[in-house]
Amino acid sequence: MAGRWEGTTVINRPIEEVFAFLADGKNDPTFSPRVQDIDKSTDGPPGVGTVYVSTVRDAGLKTKRENEITEFVPPTRLRWSERSQNLVTNPRGGYDLAPEGADATRLTMWGELVGHGAGKLVAPLALRSARKGAGDLLASIKRTIETPAS
């Protein structure tokens, strides 16, 4: 078992707008350089049971990831679980959102990393990298949501 990483930022947008953006996993490549491509493999709008399949680049390696939304409570809580079988997985993760003043949102993002097989050896390094990079990822989410679409 590796452990948990998390980070928090304040986004200058209303909570409903932030939740809607984050709930649509197809937005992930706009703020996460590690997500090479992503598709929703289930029908309908995002909600419990929605599955996103992505290609992710970590440490120079491309892997396929499959994540399912397991909890969907607009506009305050979103949880997912990685269903794919990789050396290091994120079996539980989520976004917690809270209003911050009149038109801003406090976002806390977290995840739990677990190593499988030989991945148990690299999971502590992946966790250290996730903890170190959480601030940059949240800053990218903040910039993306706050920047008006052209």
- Identify the residue whose tokens are 């209303």: 14
Domain segments of the chain as ranges = 3-146
User: What predicted TM-score, i.e. pTM, was given to this entire model?
Assistant: 0.94
Q: Would residue 44 be called left, alpha or beta, if left means φ above 0 and alpha means ψ between -120 and 50 degrees? A: left
pLDDT of residue 1: 58
CATH number of 3-146: 3.30.530.20
Render each residue's pLDDT in the chain as its tens digit; 150 residues.
579 999 999 999 999 999 999 999 999 999 999 999 999 999 999 999 999 999 999 878 899 999 999 999 999 999 999 999 999 999 999 999 999 998 999 999 999 999 999 999 999 999 999 999 999 999 999 999 999 775
